[in-house]
Structure 1
């Protein structure tokens, strides 16, 4: 009986030891599970951080795209301004050409007026020359007429003198 008691107590102690070991193993397993859960939580946090970083990168890319669009819009506006300036320059050139054409027309009109004036003055000088030659002709005609009249008078006077002389000769001396 004593021996059986001893055996029992030995068996009980072994059982206790086994139970203690099992409890320790369970505690270790629980600790490992807790560690795994913590690791999983850390991984989830890391994933969340990565997602946040990706979102930030996407936002940055969107901002860059917006900036590029703004730059493109500015470039388009500058191009439009340049086109407007070119159009204004073309209009100014056209106006200058029109002014030059008007000036040329005015010069042509002035030349025509000068030519007309020259023709008028030439006509006047021709008329004056004609008048002068007419006057000269008249004066010469008058002179010739006067000379012929003078000659006729002289001849008449001479014939008168001759007649009187002959009459005197014919008359008897007293």
Structure 2
């Protein structure tokens, strides 16, 4: 009895999340269109009031880009960015803002998993370390920290699974 109650509670949460953030091409409700303002609101909502034991998931599947890094906090000289639907008029959401909004607020005991399916998304959360697999099939960790800039959580954990590296593009494909 208890487990079925928990299961329906879990299903209700998933349905809520799906209904709130799913985007359909012909969406008519303004709050569900992935504009820069709506994505920013959703990112703030995601981490607002996070507490120990919370497990947060952020998924973005869309366009990504890179642009010149004007504050010189990037190892490669470029800011990675997500492109909202209105990016041509409102601009992109750069990695510095994403880090400030959903990484820095993570308190001890909270975990964020970000799944980013976009071009140039390797370090779009601006996490301090990047895990890569070398030619021998071993994992290596690259330190991405710039000592002049604070790019850490407030004690929580953040993981980012990206479609590609900062210098790569990703594309849809058809498998027959």
Common fold: TM-score over 0.5: no
Flag the structure with larger Rg.
1
Higher strand residue share? 2
Which of the pair has the greater relative contact order for Cα pairs under 8 Å at 6+ separation?
A: 2
The answer to which structure has the higher helix fraction is 1
- Normalization by structure 1: what TM-score? 0.16
TM-score normalised over the length of structure 2? 0.16
